[in-house]
Structure 1
Amino acid sequence: MLNNAAESIMHVVTRPEQVMVRGKGSYLWDANGNRYLDFIQGWAVNSLGHCPPVLVRAINKQMKELLNGSPALLNNQMIAAADLLVKNSCLDKVWFGNSGAEVNEGAIKLARKYGAQHLNGAYEIITANNSFHGRTL
């Protein structure tokens, strides 16, 4: 299987040779049954660990009702999440993105628009060299 990966998956990051087959909490298991402490946690996507029962139940329930991966369509959960975020923050609107790269690009666009409209045309963005703003080609 590892040979197939080298042939079919584009190299964008150096990966260990182990092929992970399952996860639980903070641990991963490879195809040989070896257990590893997962320090990466899906690059912060799995901050609650792998397969927490409460999330598995919620995801299964939602999958039986509606799967909508696009912010182009409204759904009840999106509206409820937006209402909760607005109610508990200093924000008056929420924008949902699909990826880190998309969210960073959206944040830059919003900051530039705000600067142009409210800060006498200020629209320059300061970033750090070699910083990570999401995976793009």
Structure 2
Amino acid sequence: MKKRQYEGKVIDFSSNSDFLQKRRQDFNKTIKQKKKISKNMKNIGNNVYCRKIIYDSALGASHKSTHLARRLLEGVFNHDAMMGCTLTGQAPRTKDKKSAVVNPLDQQAKGAIVEFAMHTAVERKWPIQSRQIILKEMSQRSLNINATT
């Protein structure tokens, strides 16, 4: 029997011990969860995932990188995460909302959306648009989503 101290406890590490069976179950659960994520989600880069149904519709309906980025924004961020947030973290310039504290959207996800949109535009021979234009369009879309609810 292989016994060692693990997290302050003496644990039996033989092949049929309860400890190892529990670890195997945890590992198998994690693998199943990853498969479930990969079935419903699509990686757009930098470990940023977009809902597959939105990803597919965005690629099918877009003809510019700005269109694609605006549509992917809703697939990467859920509605609750976007509420009360702006793309940059700056408060809107209207008088009634200027004092409100506003959180920015995740920078890594925002960058992944822009990079994916620019790469797809080159791949599909769409009109090339700059990073600033794409970010401006995404910012407008995030404000539209906040304004509608």
TM-score (norm 2): 0.26
* Greater gyration radius: 2
